[in-house]
Amino acid sequence: LEFDGALLRLRLARPKANIVDAAMIAALDGALVAYRAQPGLRGVLLDAEGPNFSFGASVEEHLPAQCAQMLASLHALVLLMIEFPAPILVAVRGQCLGGGLEVALAGGPIFAAPDAQFGQPEMKLGVFAPAASVLLPYRVNQPFAEDLLFSGRSIAAAEAGEAGLVHTVFDDPETAALSYFNQHLAGKSAAALACALAAARGAMVREVRQRLAEVEQLYLDRLMATRDANEGLTAFLGKRKPQWEHR
């Protein structure tokens, strides 16, 4: 806690990849649960140690034996974040990919370094990004969201800013996020901010909750029953090119 309890600082701390695995999800979940009733809390700043925000979720945990638990825990974290009673500011350097971008999307404004790269590369592994499929259209227009989701390409901070995915591009994104907090949030009532978030996100929260359940079921029941999803994940772990059979 900083600024006399007004700001909660959270940092992904397993560089250089900061993989969003079960342990990382549990740590974020635990911190947010522990501090969501903190008196006077007006903001959260989420950043990361090392040169990259996150390479994404654990591919091993996407395999059939673990993917149901992984998706359930990640989607519970997403809901916890979008319902959190204080704005969550996200500072990004380097790679912000896959599950890492999904976590960032569940926060509030994203402050990015010029070298930041954003992408949902899941399609390259023969799978799709469930949480991003739900959250990206709230940040950018539907065609641009579909471009990122279907192509698996990464975009630089400048393009992300033009699309509305990123709020500010600045050499030091943590400083930019802190400046935003001090200028726009620190002087506000925490009670009023909590009510404003509930008011602004009411319909979004209801839809995201429903849509996450739908895409989770689609992922587990339909996608993971395909040969290519299992081939793509296995090929990635084996460091070889996948051989698609389109089934």
Residue 179: the pLDDT is 98
Question: How far apart (Å, rounded) are the C-alpha atoms in residues 196 and 183?
Answer: 17
Average pLDDT value for the chain: 97
Residue 106: the pLDDT is 98
Residue 50 has pLDDT above 90, yes or no: yes
Question: How far apart (Å, rounded) are the C-alpha atoms in residues 91 and 6?
Answer: 18
Residue 62 has pLDDT above 90, yes or no: no
Rounded average pLDDT over 73-102:
98
Rounded average pLDDT over 53-64:
93
Residue 129: the pLDDT is 98
pLDDT tens for residues 135-150? 999 999 999 999 999 9
3-state secondary structure the chain: CECCCCEEEEEECCCCCCCECHHHHHHHHHHHHHHCCCCCCCEEEEEECCCCCECCECCHHHCCCCHHHHHHHHHHHHHHHHCCCCCEEEEECCEEEHHHHHHHHHCCCEEECCCCEEECHHHHHCCCCHHHHHHHHHHCCHHHHHHHHHHCCEEEHHHHHHHCCCCEECCCHHHHHHHHHHHHHCCCCHHHHHHHHHHHHHHHHHHHHHHHHHHHHHHHHHHHHCHHHHHHHHHHHCCCCCCCCCC
Residue 192: the pLDDT is 98
Rounded average pLDDT over 238-245:
97
For 239, counting Cβ atoms within 10 Å of its Cβ (0-12 exposed, 13-18 middle, 19+ buried), the class is: exposed
Rounded average pLDDT over 13-36:
97
pLDDT tens for residues 185-198? 999 999 999 999 99
Residue 96 has pLDDT above 90, yes or no: yes
Smallest CA-to-CA distance from 98 within 24, 34, 201, 163 is with: 24
Q: Which residues contact 30 (CB under 8 A, 6 or more apart)?
A: none
